[in-house]
Amino acid sequence: MQNTKQDKLSEMLRELAAEFFSRESNRQSLITITAVEVMSRGGRATIRITVLPESEETHALEFIHRKLADFRDYVSSNSRIGRVPFFDADIDVGEKNRQKIDKIGGTQ
């Protein structure tokens, strides 16, 4: 039962992150929110992203980190979560690897 609740929370936070960062972005790169991993009983969460072009990953991650406090306020205002987690962000390396495998598989 706990996993379902945590899965729903993660998906809701992913959708909120996608809305927020899409609106805040300057469109210099395509930032995709691939997942939000909730940890510490909901006290902390990591936003996983991919960025195109890859050369913009550092700038995109810096942008996301600058906006995390604003995003936390956005979650508080746009959800009914009792305890809004503190957020961090990181590149979704697993998703990048999956895309590379798909690309290799598609060229053969």
Helix axes 2-24, 57-78, angle to 10 degrees: 120
95, pLDDT greater than 80: no
Q: Name the superfamily (CATH) of residues 2-107.
A: K homology (KH) domain (3.30.300.20)
Q: Tell me the percentage of the chain whose pLDDT exceeds 90.
A: 72
**What's residue 61's pLDDT?**
96
**In this structure, are residues 43 and 83 in contact, taking their beta carbons and an 8 Å threshold?**
yes
Question: Which token pair is 20?
Answer: 């927020």
The mean per-residue pLDDT over the stretch 59-80 comes to 97
Half-sphere exposure of 63 (CA within 13 A, CB side): 20
Type of residue at 39: M
Residue ranges per domain, the chain?
A: 2-107
Query: Model pTM?
Result: 0.86
89, pLDDT greater than 90: yes
